[in-house]
Structure 1
């Protein structure tokens, strides 16, 4: 049963992606956080931060997680600082960082790739709250369902898994390149574009894309 009426207020969109020291939010930390935010006025803004993981989280880090996200090569928070705004170069305390992230997610529809089963858990633990709308949206699953209903021949049926690469190709959305995968902002942009390609009217799709591509990638 729905708990919202069809006249519910418009909400901002927040496409979030995190790079973490492992898969368990109880033991591991997010160290890179990106948000592509679209306000109710339609303005799209990008945010990217890095924060130093706790010493305990680094001790318990999964080496493969650090390798895939290239933690040791890409961590640039200055020595003695807790966090860094990667867009402005401003150093932040953890409290300042959490306040900024909370403000962007407050009341927003949280979107991403597997966001409800991964990123949301880390964000909830980091912020001590879940300020976003109660129903996060996995952009890849949304697009796969859209494709299956519109063009069943291009999508696997029954219980076979779909690939995000195939979904992106058929939706004409550019995936992050080899040097960008598993970095927070390109992955957040990809989910944002995929969501808007499904949910925007054709005339608005290019307006709300941040990675423009003509046709299939």
Structure 2
């Protein structure tokens, strides 16, 4: 990775089609500083009508009462304009960054006065980078759960925007250390012996205070 700012993004959505579905929860983590933002758009009637039941099962939107954090139009616009400043000119990273980028572009175009930020045209894909770094089959890319297992990272809140974004960010940090041959990062290549130190998002947050 270059010295360009890297922003890890994860979105939870009402389905898989950015032309029909929308973002219900968005988290962004600055890979360098660890700072993060969480954005929860208020869903409109048409968003709920088009939603996939499978999506609600995966992201547990109602069980987690995510709707209680929903932002009004003005607050949402302000939050997206702030995120615009993070993303514009940055490298967009994620466990599935092409998926996230498609939904991000639609969300910004639809609900942000600033328009759509221009992030770098190359995306930092954790799955592809992990497969390459650990010499895995490049056509059988691992999901986030497998990447976390290989890098010794515990995702404390899977299938939540912030939980997945923070876990992805820590995997990327360990991947970078592995590639730079810094520290004592020992990936779990075969899935049998766990890494010596497991990451905890809450512990990392406390350490930055």
Q: TM-score range by the shorter chain?
A: 0.7 to 0.9
The separation in 2 between residues aligned to 1:163 and 1:29, in whole angstroms, is 22
Structure 2 SS opposite 1:25:
coil
User: Which residue number corresponds to residue 82 of structure 1?
Assistant: 72
Q: Point out the structure with the larger helix share.
A: 2
After superposition, what is the alpha-carbon deviation per residue over 1:58-84, rounded to whole angstroms, capped at 9, x for unaligned?
1110011012111112224468x527x
The separation in 1 between residues aligned to 2:59 and 2:138, in whole angstroms, is 33
The separation in 2 between residues aligned to 1:170 and 1:94, in whole angstroms, is 36
User: Which residue number corresponds to residue 122 of structure 1?
Assistant: 103
Residue 43 of structure 2 corresponds to residue 53 of structure 1: yes
Residue 114 of structure 2 corresponds to residue 134 of structure 1: no
What are structure 1's unaligned runs of at least 5 residues?
1-8, 84-91, 149-154, 206-212
Q: TM-score, normalised by structure 1?
A: 0.72
Residue 161 of structure 2 corresponds to residue 184 of structure 1: yes
Displacement after TM superposition at 1:160 (Å): 4.5
- The 1:215–1:46 alpha-carbon spacing in structure 2 relative to 1, beyond 3 Å, is same
Residue 56 of structure 2 corresponds to residue 69 of structure 1: no
Residue 174 of structure 2 corresponds to residue 197 of structure 1: yes
Q: Point out the structure with the larger strand share.
A: 1
Residue 84 of structure 2 corresponds to residue 102 of structure 1: yes
User: Which residue number corresponds to residue 205 of structure 2?
Assistant: none
After superposition, what is the alpha-carbon deviation per residue over 1:9-37, rounded to whole angstroms, capped at 9, x for unaligned?
83111000011111111111101110111
Kept after mapping to 1: 8 A contact 2:13/2:22 = yes
Displacement after TM superposition at 1:204 (Å): 10
Q: CA RMSD in A?
A: 2.6
Displacement after TM superposition at 1:135 (Å): 0.8
What are structure 2's unaligned runs of at least 5 residues?
110-115, 186-194, 200-209
Displacement after TM superposition at 1:168 (Å): 2.6
Kept after mapping to 2: 8 A contact 1:109/1:136 = yes
Kept after mapping to 1: 8 A contact 2:95/2:144 = no
> Which residue, 168, 171, 174 being the options, matches 2:148?
168
Displacement after TM superposition at 1:144 (Å): 1.4
